[in-house]
């Protein structure tokens, strides 16, 4: 069941990233999209809101930490897409957490459930992602990674690793308090979305000096694009949160979510008309092999 939910979420995740790249790459775009997603899925809170309010203080600290990490992720993503192709930025932002999250788990709990085979597969996923910015093997150089787009993609990856770790702890805390997997995942997704909006608002206004409305709603179809992206953002992560509550090791979830990488690359090439090279396809193939081994 967890694998099935993750597979569905990968399609949705690649979809909303492509919409974000095509329709708007401002920070306020993602803020409004998250707010729309929160409103769309808010009915899931009706049944359990009293139980959510009664959660211990530790849960609310995790909500705050998650909101900050999600803000780092979305800011990094928006800035990376302003100067980089979807087929490069997206794989890098998705693959780096495959290595970061197991390290966080090991540091926090002192042990990991991952086998040597799992670690080898995750390293293969990471290696494949690092190949993507290289157009030709004979032209490989460190400067291929020394671009603003790659730098912001790394920022997005750090945010992903952070919220994956905090959110796993939060949904397992909800399960301990008696929530079902669906109740924990859906309720947390809505509450977390509210936390993200509150964190992104001052970042957008004060740090990056963006207009709340002008950069988002000044073109035809903007409202529909924001609403669709919000539906996919919160809906995608709702499925991931439910799957997180079903497994004991969050690193597996993070690794399997990378199936969205080849989907994102395909969208970048066929829909956004981005260029493709042999090395990029080789990198995607390496990642697919690693994903197969992780799923086994």
pLDDT tens digits for range 47-95? 899 999 999 999 999 999 999 999 999 999 888 888 777 767 777 787 7
25-29, 65-69, 271-275: range with highest mean pLDDT: 65-69
CB-based contacts of 137, cutoff 8 Å, min separation 6: 279
- Residue 189: the pLDDT is 93
- Residue 44: the pLDDT is 93
6-10, 86-90, 128-132, 155-159: range with highest mean pLDDT: 155-159
Q: What is the mean pLDDT of residues 158-183?
A: 90
- φ, ψ for residue 112, nearest 5 deg: -140, 150
* Three state DSSP letters for 227-289: HHHHHHHHHHHHHHHHHHCCCCCHHHHHHHHHHHHHHHHHHHHHCCCCCCCHHHHHHHHHHHH
Mean pLDDT rounded to a whole number for the chain: 81
Instruction: Give yes or no for residue 20 having a pLDDT over 70.
Output: no
**Range of the structural domain that residue 87 is part of:** 2-295
Domain count, the chain: 1
Cα–Cα distance for residue pair 196/176, rounded to 1 Å: 24
pTM summary value: 0.80
Confidence class of residue 144 from pLDDT cuts 50, 70 and 90?
low
Q: What is the mean pLDDT of residues 121-141?
A: 75
Percent of the chain with pLDDT strictly greater than 90: 24
Residue 91 in tokens: 């794989």
């Amino acid at each position: 069941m967890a694998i099935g939910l993750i597979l569905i979420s990968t399609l949705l995740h690649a979809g909303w990233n492509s919409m974000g790249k095509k329709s708007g790459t401002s920070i306020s775009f993602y803020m409004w999209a998250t707010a729309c997603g929160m409103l769309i899925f808010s009915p899931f809170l009706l049944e359990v809101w009293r139980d959510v309010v009664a959660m211990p203080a530790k849960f609310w600290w995790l909500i705050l930490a998650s909101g900050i990490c999600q803000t780092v992720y979305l800011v990094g993503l928006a800035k990376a897409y302003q100067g980089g192709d979807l087929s490069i930025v997206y794989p890098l932002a998705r693959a780096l957490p495959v290595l970061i999250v197991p390290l966080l788990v090991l540091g926090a709990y002192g042990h990991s459930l991952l086998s040597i085979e799992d670690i080898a597969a995750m390293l293969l996923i990471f290696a494949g992602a690092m190949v993507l910015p290289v157009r030709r093997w004979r032209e490989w150089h460190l400067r291929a990674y020394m671009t603003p787009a790659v730098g912001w993609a790394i920022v997005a990856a750090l945010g992903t690793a952070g919220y994956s770790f905090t959110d796993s702890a939060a949904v397992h805390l909800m399960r301990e308090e008696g929530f079902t997997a669906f109740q924990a995942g859906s309720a947390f997704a809505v509450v977390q979305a509210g936390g993200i909006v509150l964190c992104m608002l001052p970042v957008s206004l004060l740090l990056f000096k963006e207009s709340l409305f002008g950069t988002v709603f000044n073109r035809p179809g903007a409202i529909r694009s924001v609403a669709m992206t919000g539906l996919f953002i919160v809906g995608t992560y709702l499925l991931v949160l439910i799957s997180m509550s079903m497994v004991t090791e969050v690193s597996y979830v993070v690794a399997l979510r990378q199936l969205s990488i080849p989907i994102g690359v395909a969208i970048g090439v066929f829909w956004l008309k981005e260029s493709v090279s042999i090395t990029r396809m080789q990198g995607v193939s390496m990642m697919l092999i690693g994903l197969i081994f992780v799923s086994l």
